[in-house]
Structure 1
Amino acid sequence: MLNQSFLKISVLVATLCLNALRVSSMVWNCPGQYTIQGVCDQNKDDGTTNINCHPESCSNGGKKWVPMSNCVWNDRYDVPGLSKQQCAQYTYVTSDKTYDCKNPAGHNYICSSNPTGGFMTCTDCFTVP
């Protein structure tokens, strides 16, 4: 009786450990789009590879933004020059080969280069049927 209980507990623990490894090893990269709601586009395409992620599982090196350079302030056309931005949300615009970027303050920019520190990555994602 004690051996059967030990065996059942061992199988349960092993199953939980294997499941935890399977889930924790998945990482989704978001080069096409990332929103603060956790929408992640895995390719620079028309949005057909979107996946939904829990925002708390998403980051870029521990940060909730990606650095981009060569950005023009889209909200204010009268502000000249290029800037570097911390983009909390971004979408790749295929036709222009630029990124629409929204920084944590909510200002919109158009950036002409890829994020200089990598894209957002997420570890807890799901699809909605």
Structure 2
Amino acid sequence: MAIGQTTRVSLPYPSTWEIQASFGGRPTTLGTLVISNVSNGRVSGTVNFRGTPIPIQGSWDERSRQITIESPYANFIGTFAYKAEPTLGLRHYVLRGTVRMKPPSVRAGEVGTWTAVTNLPL
């Protein structure tokens, strides 16, 4: 790539992310986020915190780099960032934001933070 050129990087799919959620200082919950498809501003995939993939759907705003994800148990709102590491041949992607649990979750009503990360070749 020539000096001065910029590359617009979008939300990668299909992609698998490590996701963690934290509520009120309690230990972090770890899981897997799979983004299967992004099309016309719509996102679909699964999230898995307890061994069973749960379907998700949501929206992706390319211009503001904001994502919303809804599962039967929680609503996630976040922003997208990335950093290229040319010496490693990787691009690090990060989604980060707030999560609100909803019924039938045992944590219904609780609000916390979430972060999801993945690395892909340049």
Does 1 or 2 have the higher relative contact order (CA < 8 Å, sep 6+)? 1
* TM surpasses 0.5: no
Greater helix proportion: 1
Q: Compute the TM-score of the two structures, normalised by the length of structure 1.
A: 0.28
**Which structure shows the higher strand fraction?**
2
Structure showing greater Rg: 1
